[in-house]
Amino acid sequence: MEEYLKIEREKEWRVELRTKLKNKERTTIERVQMPGLDPIERIQYQDREVNLGLDEASAITEASRCMDCVNPTCIEGCPVSINIPKFIKNIERGEMHEAAKTLKETSALPAVCGRVCPQEKQCEAQCFYTLKLKKEPVAIGYLERFAADFEQNSGSISVPETAEKNNIKVAAIGSGPASLSFAGDMAKLGYDVTVFEALHEVGGVLKYGIPEFRLPNRVVDVELASLEKMGVKFERNFIVGRTASFDDLKEEGFHAFFVASGAGLPRFMNIPGENFNGILSSNEYLTRVNLMNAAKSEFDTPVLRGKNIAVIGGGNTAMDSVRTAKRLGAERAMIVYRRSREEMPARVEEVLHAEEEGIEFLNLNNPIEYFADENGRVNRMRLQKMELGEPDASGRRRPVVVEGSEYDIPVDVVVVAIGVSPNPLVPSELPELKVSRWGTIEVDPETMQSSIPDLFAGGDIVRGGATVILAMGDGRKAAAGMHQYLQTKQNNLVSEPSAIKNAD
Amino acid sequence: MANLATQFFGLELKSPVIAASCSMTGDLEQIKKLAKAGAGAIVLKSLYEEEIDTQLQEELSQRKALEPDPEYLDYFDYIIKDENLKDYTGLIRQAKQAVEVPIVASVSCISQSDWVLFSKKLEEAGVDALELNLFLLPANLEKSGEANEQFYFNTVKKVLEVVSIPVTIKISHYFSNLAAMIKALSETGIAGISLFNRFYSPDIDIQNEKMISADVLSHASDYLLPLRWTGILSSQTSCPLAATGGIHSAETAIKFLLAGASAVQVASVLYNGGTEAIAGMNQEIATWMDAKGYDKIDDFKGKLAIRDKHVALYERAQFMKYFTQKDF
Ligand SMILES: Cc1cc2nc3c(=O)[nH]c(=O)nc-3n(C[C@H](O)[C@H](O)[C@H](O)COP(=O)(O)OP(=O)(O)OC[C@H]3O[C@@H](n4cnc5c(N)ncnc54)[C@H](O)[C@@H]3O)c2cc1C
Ligand SMILES: Cc1cc2nc3c(=O)[nH]c(=O)nc-3n(C[C@H](O)[C@H](O)[C@H](O)COP(=O)(O)O)c2cc1C
């Protein structure tokens, strides 16, 4: 790996590019600002992307801030080790397609990751500017998005080459980022891949969770089209475990399975009054708005609209829900989070955007009870103030109750976004599958193989709740693991009459 | 045969020997055995807010290797508590189905909101009574005794506001004016007080010069501390008392009934002698009562509680020569 990075770095064009500008000049350039829609305007639309993306000139300027370090620490911050300097230097020299290709060497969904990765905790946190110069890091995320969008908009998207078909059928369960990247890699290796998706829309959380104002559907659709061109088949409205069982699928000739069914089971706090009408999970809230057109007035569902909307939680899901609430017309859209802004797990940019949009933050507040009107519709919530104590085992300061600090506020919709548990359907169908106390599937971290040899798993069903990039990385690891497994199996079977290839 | 019925936890109990809250009473199979052995009531293992937090910390520390998303870490803040409550209420439901004997839930929290939340949930699950395992180690140099005492009153008040089943409390003896405190607590509307809880105690291993845990189980002479206070207080409190700590035999249990306790709570004896120990104690209490000609507990309960003539006996403390028969 290191060797490869070094060879790439010593290529003539990179050496030459480095001499074009002195590092001193590079470091005096200010970090680019992401152009975006005006907050007042954008909160009128659920489907208009807030960030507009960089233009070519500012992307090149930003790319020239990168000093093409000898020791590119940024790569260590990337869960899938994208060759960051290489793609950025390609942008600097104007080779946008090359930049996109570099991203695709390791990332299956760069246009998505450029928009939703928590860069400030990953690559950008490890950038030389952040670590040593104490300056704003190179805008790696913006540049990633730029290169990926450039390719998507150019109309000449390179569909990766696929090996000769080997006619071995494999199945992916779920169509989120883990499955999509798995499917892409397996198709490249010549496998006959079918992706089974329970919903009518393919894309997993990318479609039903993350709203269009942050990740437009068309960005995902381009990737899906690309997979279809590679021969990947998608079966929609197909619930593995209900529509068909694993045994049925085996009978149909599937040799191995990749389970990436995500973590879609909503969790509640189980505090008094949580069953009242008007209190729903972020999962239900966002799915309704994103997939069922509930935002459009002809599909008006009063359940979702309110004057005073409180969203419980501080993660991306909470931010997406509260910003959606604002867009659906809430007068007061509030985040209720038991820790402080500093501990918020949401991407920093989402928190900033939410603030710009007039979201109220009731940080260091925890709901303890809900009250309802005579029709059983929530109308009030009781909050308790918290303060920060000693750091906990995650290194964040733990919230401690401030005794006697309870107070009530009016609410008519409450969205609970405290987290989700793994979808239990697949594990419950396979009693011999090893799962953790929390319902996540246990796998070998290198091969993503589960306790059932022909079953691999990745993404949120393994990690509980993670990020798009980690899910995607899991899909790629699983593809490599499964390929290895099937090859070994095939080699062991060659002498026998029913070799795996002829099985169907 | 003598009738062993008594009242505690605001309930009619068939025997004054109660299975105290301990790890055994957190297990359904043991609960069935304790019921079969004739326990007057079974107090389930305490549900501790602090323990839930410890679990949370463990979970968080394990998650580091998984390159966790903090969003997932926040999830445990809520979920571990929820899972613990679900397990506990599940145990209540199972126990209530499996046995006839009254099932009492025990709670121990730090924050008022959790006292309230947990108490409500346990009541909803169908428990017969609640025992609040109330304890603050008075080791905080910044906090006044009064502030510590306030914690007890506030907690009792909050819980009584939200539940309608009987509520009792189990406390330690760490109060500056123990008698006045217990009397005041007995007037808050609670259904009983258990004296005194036993705790984990640190000890020192002099060979290895290390801190270790002292014996978890009590010693047979430990009963002397609660005996004195049961005797002093039983006739003066507004609610019944139960005793716990070092009650290892029917003989000791009878001493407490004579001192005015309505019941005794036993734990260590169950570890030493198995659940059957309760059957043995019931049998021996009955035999003693028969021999003494007592039909029911009330016939002798409190016979040796503090009265004018016993004041000096219960309240003498220093080993003055005057009180002892032998020269030490
Ligand atoms: C609102 C929201 C915002 C987020 N924001 C970000 C962000 O900004 N950045 C980031 O990095 N991460 C974000 N995440 C997390 C990220 O989206 C997930 O970690 C990632 O999508 C997990 O991918 P996955 O492939 O494991 O599963 P998912 O994307 O959850 O997809 C699983 C799919 O499996 C399907 N399925 C389930 N069971 C079955 C079955 N039995 N048969 C067939 N199909 C089935 C489901 O319908 C679903 O479509 C966010 C998550 C949410 C909910
Ligand atoms: C192993 C063990 C666990 C205990 N756990 C609890 C508990 O969870 N809650 C509680 O109020 N008391 C607990 N106790 C204290 C007992 O309920 C009892 O009051 C104390 O041990 C004194 O009685 P004994 O001398 O009969 O053991 C525990 C005691 C033991 C030995």
Region A117-144: what's the mean pLDDT?
A: 95
Mutating to test ligand 2, I would choose from B8, B9, B18, B22 the residue with most ligand atoms within 8 A of its C-beta, which is: B22
What pLDDT, on a 0 to 100 scale, did the predictor assign at position A502? 45
What pLDDT, on a 0 to 100 scale, did the predictor assign at position A295? 54
pLDDT at A298 > cutoff 60: no
What pLDDT, on a 0 to 100 scale, did the predictor assign at position A158? 75
> Is there a domain that residue A45 lies in?
no
Residues of chain B in contact with residue A466, where contact means CB-CB under 8 angstroms, are 67-69, 72
> Is there a domain that residue A345 lies in?
yes
> Is there a domain that residue A291 lies in?
yes
Domain finish residue from A154, A177, A195: A154
B245 lines ligand 2 (CB under 6 A): yes
Q: Which atom of ligand 1 is nearest to the CA of A243?
A: 42
Domain finish residue from A420, A440, A470: A420
- Kindly state whether residues A292 and A368 are assigned to the same domain: yes
- Residues in CB range of A55: below 8 A, 6 or more apart: none
Query: Cβ of A401 and B121 within 8 Å?
Result: no
What pLDDT, on a 0 to 100 scale, did the predictor assign at position B68? 55
Q: Which residue shows structure tokens 């000898």?
A: A70
| Cα B255 off chain centre by | 18
Could you tell me which chain A residue has the CA closest to the CA of B124? A272
- Kindly state whether residues A370 and A464 are assigned to the same domain: no
In this complex, the residue of B69, B112, B121 whose CB is nearest that of residue A465 is B69
What pLDDT, on a 0 to 100 scale, did the predictor assign at position A339? 93
From the number of C-beta atoms within 10 Å of its C-beta (0-12, 13-18, 19+), residue B215 rates as exposed
pLDDT at A487 > cutoff 70: yes
Residues of chain B in contact with residue A317, where contact means CB-CB under 8 angstroms, are 71
Q: Which atom of ligand 1 is nearest to the CA of A241?
A: 41
* For testing contact with chain A, the best of B49, B57, B72 (most A CBs within 10 A): B72
Q: How far apart (Å, rounded) are the C-alpha atoms in residues B65 and B55?
A: 17
Interval between CA B52 and ligand 2 midpoint (Å): 19
In this complex, the residue of B63, B112, B120 whose CB is nearest that of residue A403 is B112
- Kindly state whether residues A228 and A147 are assigned to the same domain: no
- Kindly state whether residues A207 and A138 are assigned to the same domain: no
Q: What is the pTM of this model?
A: 0.88
Query: Cβ of B113 and A267 within 8 Å?
Result: no
Which residues does B contribute to its contact with A (CB < 8 Å)? 56-58, 60-61, 63-64, 66-75, 77-79, 82, 85-86, 110-114, 116-117, 120-121
pLDDT at A396 > cutoff 90: no
Give the structural domain span for A86. Answer: 2-37+50-154
Nearest chain A CA: its distance from B239 CA (Å): 28
Residue A98 CB coordination number (10 Å): 17
In this complex, the residue of A338, A345, A401 whose CB is nearest that of residue B71 is A345
Going through A402-475 in order, the beta strands assigned E by DSSP cover: 407-410, 413-416, 420-421, 455-457
A155-169, A331-345, B212-226: which has the minimum mean pLDDT?
A155-169
Measured from the alpha carbon of residue A464, the closest ligand is: 1
First-to-last alpha carbon distance for chain A, in angstroms, is: 39
Q: Which atom of ligand 1 is nearest to the CA of A466?
A: 19
What pLDDT, on a 0 to 100 scale, did the predictor assign at position B322? 59
- Kindly state whether residues A86 and A114 are assigned to the same domain: yes
> Is there a domain that residue A223 lies in?
yes
DSSP state of A231: T
pLDDT tens per residue across span A304-326: 788 999 999 999 999 999 999 99
Q: How far apart (Å, rounded) are the C-alpha atoms in residues A413 and B182?
A: 46
More confident residue, B62 or A276: A276
Interval between CA A179 and ligand 1 midpoint (Å): 10
- Kindly state whether residues A135 and A13 are assigned to the same domain: yes
Nearest chain B CA: its distance from A268 CA (Å): 8
In this complex, the residue of A79, A268, A313 whose CB is nearest that of residue B74 is A313
Measured from the alpha carbon of residue A117, the closest ligand is: 1
Q: How far apart (Å, rounded) are the C-alpha atoms in residues A29 and B221?
A: 80
The DSSP element (H or E) to which B3 belongs, if any, is: none
* Per-residue H/E/C for A243-276: CECHHHHHHCCEEEEEECCCCCEECCCCCCCCCC
For A265, A400, B81, the CA distances from A391, given in Å and listed in that order, are 29, 11, 19
| Tally of domains in chain A | 3
Region A430-434: what's the mean pLDDT?
A: 93
pLDDT tens per residue across span A344-387: 989 999 999 999 999 999 999 999 999 999 999 999 999 999 99
ipTM of the complex: 0.80
- Kindly state whether residues A405 and A321 are assigned to the same domain: yes
Region A7-15: what's the mean pLDDT?
A: 95
Band of residue A303 on the pLDDT scale cut at 50, 70, 90: low
Band of residue A497 on the pLDDT scale cut at 50, 70, 90: very low
What pLDDT, on a 0 to 100 scale, did the predictor assign at position A491? 87
Band of residue A488 on the pLDDT scale cut at 50, 70, 90: very high
What pLDDT, on a 0 to 100 scale, did the predictor assign at position A296? 62
Q: Which atom of ligand 2 is nearest to the CA of B48?
A: 8
Query: Cβ of A393 and B85 within 8 Å?
Result: no
Region A63-91: what's the mean pLDDT?
A: 95
A425 lines ligand 1 (CB under 6 A): yes
Single-letter code of the amino acid located at B4: L
Residue pair B110/B49 in contact by the 8 Å Cβ criterion? yes
Residues of chain B in contact with residue A396, where contact means CB-CB under 8 angstroms, are 70, 73
A199 lines ligand 1 (CB under 6 A): yes
Q: Which atom of ligand 1 is nearest to the CA of A459?
A: 26
Query: Cβ of B70 and A393 within 8 Å?
Result: no
Could you tell me which chain A residue has the CA closest to the CA of B57? A393
In this complex, the residue of B67, B72, B113 whose CB is nearest that of residue A401 is B113
What torsion do the CA atoms of A120, A125, A128, A133 make, to the nearest 10 degrees? 80
Query: Cβ of A464 and B75 within 8 Å?
Result: yes
A232-246, A413-427, B222-236, B240-254: which has the minimum mean pLDDT?
A413-427
B128: nearest Cα among B93, B152, B155: B93
Pick out chain B residues at pLDDT < 50: 65-66
pLDDT at A193 > cutoff 50: yes
Domain residue spans in chain B? 6-324
A330 lines ligand 1 (CB under 6 A): no
> Is there a domain that residue A498 lies in?
yes
- Kindly state whether residues A79 and A208 are assigned to the same domain: no
Query: Cβ of B58 and A316 within 8 Å?
Result: no
A174 lines ligand 1 (CB under 6 A): yes
- Kindly state whether residues A126 and A179 are assigned to the same domain: no
Residues of chain B in contact with residue A400, where contact means CB-CB under 8 angstroms, are 111
Q: Spell A279-308 as b/e; 16+ CB within 10 A means b.
A: bbbbbebbbbbbeeebbeeeeeeebbbbeb
Could you tell me which chain A residue has the CA closest to the CA of B114? A368
Nearest chain B CA: its distance from A386 CA (Å): 11
The residue whose CA has the least distance to atom 29 of ligand 2 is B22
The reply to whether CATH 3.20.20.70 applies to domain B6-324 is yes
- Kindly state whether residues A144 and A239 are assigned to the same domain: no
What torsion do the CA atoms of B64, B70, B71, B72 make, to the nearest 10 degrees? 10
Residues of chain A in contact with residue B73, where contact means CB-CB under 8 angstroms, are 345, 394, 396
Interval between CA B20 and ligand 2 midpoint (Å): 6
* For testing contact with chain A, the best of B60, B71, B119 (most A CBs within 10 A): B71
Q: What CATH number is attached to the domain comprising A406?
A: 3.50.50.60
* For testing contact with chain B, the best of A270, A400, A436 (most B CBs within 10 A): A270
Region A265-269: what's the mean pLDDT?
A: 91
The residue whose CA has the least distance to atom 3 of ligand 2 is B22
- Kindly state whether residues A271 and A412 are assigned to the same domain: yes
Domain finish residue from A389, A404, A420: A420
- Kindly state whether residues A284 and A383 are assigned to the same domain: yes
> Is there a domain that residue A159 lies in?
no
Region A114-122: what's the mean pLDDT?
A: 93
Interval between CA B162 and ligand 2 midpoint (Å): 26
pLDDT at A272 > cutoff 50: yes
Interval between CA A264 and ligand 1 midpoint (Å): 7
Q: Which atom of ligand 2 is nearest to the CA of B46?
A: 8
pLDDT at A239 > cutoff 50: yes
Instruction: Transcribe A105-164 into DSSP letters.
Output: HH-S-HHHHHHHS-GGGTGGGGSHIIIII-SPPP-HHHHHHHHHHHHHHHS-PPPPP-PP
3-state secondary structure of A420: strand
pLDDT tens per residue across span A130-140: 999 999 999 99
Kindly report the average pLDDT of chain A as a whole number. Answer: 92
